């Protein structure tokens, strides 16, 4: 086939190939070569799937005519399953962010490329999608129920069974049907790129170029932006994901009417199905075909699932699928594939026992609740009654108490032990709560002390909340009832 590519090059450019080199393959059966000659460099592709080639060539020509940054197609011989396309270099977005990722996250240049990507995506989905001939789509013309069920069963058989994660098959199938029913309610009249992730976006001179959209079909807008932002090993910081999603919605709204509330109500469901599709691929390539590098993405996908379970709630009941997700999140073994080093979020809060123990509705149910009521209480002094544990004078008094010092020394020792263990196992969430009588002085001081101790620690992020103080502030800010 390399000789066939050279012959096609000679026919197209009138000069022979001077050098040819095989490029590293992706997850598909397609083979790529870099051919140089006649003062140019081009990519030669070999793929025996004629329908897939026809889809890629048709989409490429259409997108190029719409002014989108995609490779130019120079020529093709569909009977031999070969074609020549523009050489966009070796740096895809995943490699680019890997070269520009520091301890504090993405470098500014990477963030700017992502911003360009999310602004361009609606032009592919909406502008180019309006005039696209969907008869070229393969293997399906739309991301319909059949497409979704293929992905969900792939997830079931190649990931859940091989991981292994136990499930009740009939109950799971019923939940698959409920999830697809819900997703099919979204507007599905746009182009769905299908595999819109960092490895399918090339970067040249700080600008993005798009490749590998041959699996595209008609579908919902939510799927592609979910694919990009929850791209497992890209590990986009969660605050940046929110920023990029908002930027994407602004860009999409400029091209077509967009009901943001409706979009966002379906968005988590599309994130879930994309994660499951990816897990099915990791299972097929990693567990089944023994290609170990695919398994390295699993800890990141697990963390994405954990984040969704913490921060979103679907408006449908899918109990067996939710139980399966929680089993995946709770698996220490799945978090330890490859060399992933996930950041541990330590969620610290203070509370009053009068209001009850805090519920861990965002994590896995583990962690600590420390009782501070045996410690000296500055709140009994009238001058401190309306202050709290963050007040410098209150903090000074508590810091001088030997009982407080001994208490915090033991607390920090226990928390340090869990932090070290969780980091080694790629667990990403730990809750630590401090309670006292009123939730204002001792518990607040202890929470702040632990937060200061953990901040800046490698691999650890700290979130702090003071439940009773937040409630008091919210009550003070509420408008007075009308008389």
Residues 443-466 pLDDT 10s: 999 999 999 999 989 889 899 999
pLDDT at 320 over 70: yes
Cα gap 367→382, rounded to integer Å: 34
Tens digit of pLDDT for each residue in 179-224? 999 999 999 999 999 999 999 999 999 999 999 999 999 999 999 9
Nearby residues of 274 by Cβ (< 8 Å), 6 or more positions away = 223, 226, 227, 230
Summarize the confidence of residues 65-77 as an average pLDDT: 98
pLDDT at 44 over 50: yes
Cα gap 171→60, rounded to integer Å: 42
Tens digit of pLDDT for each residue in 216-237? 999 999 999 999 999 999 999 9
Which residue's entry shows tokens 């009138």? 14
End-to-end CA distance of the chain: 84
Predicted local confidence at residue 180, as pLDDT: 98
Cα gap 9→20, rounded to integer Å: 11
- List, in sequence order, every beta strand (DSSP E) within 309-447: 344-352, 368-371, 429-436
Single pTM value for the model: 0.83
Tens digit of pLDDT for each residue in 380-423? 999 998 899 999 999 999 999 999 999 999 999 999 999 999 99
Query: Cis before residue 68, ω within 30 degrees of 0?
Result: no
More confident call, 429 vs 90 = 90
Contact 23, 41 (CB under 8 A): no
Q: What percentage of residues in the chain have a pLDDT greater than 70?
A: 96
- pLDDT category at 103 given cuts 50, 70, 90 is low
pLDDT at 378 over 70: yes
Summarize the confidence of residues 135-151 as an average pLDDT: 96
Residue 483, SS3 per DSSP: coil
Cα gap 267→302, rounded to integer Å: 18
- pLDDT category at 272 given cuts 50, 70, 90 is very high
Q: Which two tokens stand for residue 48?
A: 């025996």
Cα gap 233→226, rounded to integer Å: 14
Complete DSSP assignment for 118-149? HHHHHIIIIIIHHS--GGG-SS-SB--HHHHH
Query: Cis before residue 199, ω within 30 degrees of 0?
Result: no
Cα gap 156→325, rounded to integer Å: 12
Predicted local confidence at residue 308, as pLDDT: 95
- List, in sequence order, every beta strand (DSSP E) within 304-428: 344-352, 368-371
Average pLDDT in the chain: 93
Cβ atoms < 10 Å from Cβ of 324: 24
- pLDDT category at 481 given cuts 50, 70, 90 is low
Summarize the confidence of residues 66-88 as an average pLDDT: 98
Q: CA 470 from chain center: how many Å?
A: 30
Q: Which residues pair with 353 in a beta bridge?
A: none
Cα gap 169→298, rounded to integer Å: 23
- pLDDT category at 429 given cuts 50, 70, 90 is confident
- pLDDT category at 483 given cuts 50, 70, 90 is very low
Q: Which two tokens stand for residue 88?
A: 């966009």
More confident call, 364 vs 9 = 9
* DSSP state at residue 54: H
pLDDT at 482 over 60: no
Summarize the confidence of residues 96-125 as an average pLDDT: 91
More confident call, 478 vs 100 = 100
Summarize the confidence of residues 107-117 as an average pLDDT: 96
pLDDT at 26 over 80: no
Helix, strand, coil fractions of the chain, as percent rounded to 5:
50, 15, 35
Q: Which domains does the chain have, with CATH numbers?
A: 2-86 (3.30.200.20), 93-336 (3.90.1200.10), 344-477 (no CATH)
What are residue 69's phi and psi, to 5 degrees? -80, 85
Diameter over CA atoms, the chain: 93
Summarize the confidence of residues 18-24 as an average pLDDT: 93
């Amino acid at each position: 086939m390399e000789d066939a590519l050279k012959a096609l090059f000679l026919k197209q450019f009138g000069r022979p190939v001077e050098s040819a080199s095989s490029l590293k393959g992706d997850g598909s059966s397609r083979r790529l070569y870099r051919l140089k000659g006649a003062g140019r460099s081009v990519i030669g592709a070999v793929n025996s799937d004629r329908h897939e080639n026809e889809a890629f060539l048709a989409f490429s020509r259409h997108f190029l005519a719409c002014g989108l940054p995609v490779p130019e197609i120079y020529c093709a011989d569909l009977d031999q399953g070969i074609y020549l396309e523009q050489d966009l270099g070796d740096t895809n977005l995943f490699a680019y962010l890997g070269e520009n990722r520091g301890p504090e996250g993405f470098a500014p240049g990477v963030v700017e490329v992502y911003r360009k990507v999310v602004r361009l995506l609606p032009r592919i989905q909406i502008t180019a999608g309006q005039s696209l001939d969907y008869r070229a789509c393969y293997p399906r013309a739309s991301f319909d129920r059949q497409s979704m069920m293929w992905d969900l069963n792939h997830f079931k058989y190649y990931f859940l069974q091989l991981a292994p994660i136990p499930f009740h098959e009939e109950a799971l199938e019923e939940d698959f049907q409920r999830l697809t029913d819900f997703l099919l309610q979204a507007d599905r009249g746009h182009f769905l790129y299908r595999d819109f992730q960092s490895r399918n976006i090339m970067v040249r001179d700080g600008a993005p170029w798009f490749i590998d959209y041959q699996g595209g079909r008609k579908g919902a807008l939510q799927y592609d932006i979910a694919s990009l932002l929850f791209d497992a090993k890209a590990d986009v910081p969660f605050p940046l994901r929110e920023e990029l999603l908002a930027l994407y919605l602004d860009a999409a709204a400029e091209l077509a009417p967009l009901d943001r509330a409706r979009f966002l109500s379906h968005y988590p469901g599309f994130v879930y199905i994309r994660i499951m599709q990816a897990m099915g691929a990791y299972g097929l390539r990693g567990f089944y075909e023994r290609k170990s590098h695919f398994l390295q993405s699993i800890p990141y996908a697990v963390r994405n699932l954990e984040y969704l379970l913490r921060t979103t709630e679907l408006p449908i009941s899918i109990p067996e699928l939710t139980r399966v997700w929680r089993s995946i999140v709770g698996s220490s073994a799945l978090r330890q594939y490859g060399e992933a080093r996930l950041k541990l979020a330590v969620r610290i809060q203070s509370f009053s026992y009068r209001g009850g123990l805090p519920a861990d509705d965002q994590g896995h149910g583990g962690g600590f609740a420390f009782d501070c009521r045996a410690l000296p209480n500055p709140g009994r002094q009238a001058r401190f009654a309306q202050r709290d544990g963050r007040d410098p004078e209150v903090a000074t008094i508590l810091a001088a108490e030997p009982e407080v010092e001994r208490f915090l020394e033991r607390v920090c020792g226990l928390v340090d032990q869990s932090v070290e263990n969780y980091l080694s196992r790629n667990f990403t969430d730990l809750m630590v709560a401090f309670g006292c009588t009123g939730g204002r002085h001792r518990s607040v001081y202890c929470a702040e002390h632990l937060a200061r101790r953990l901040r800046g620690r490698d691999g650890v992020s700290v979130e702090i909340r003071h439940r009773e103080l937040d409630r008091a502030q919210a009550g003070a800010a509420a408008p007075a009832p009308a008389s």
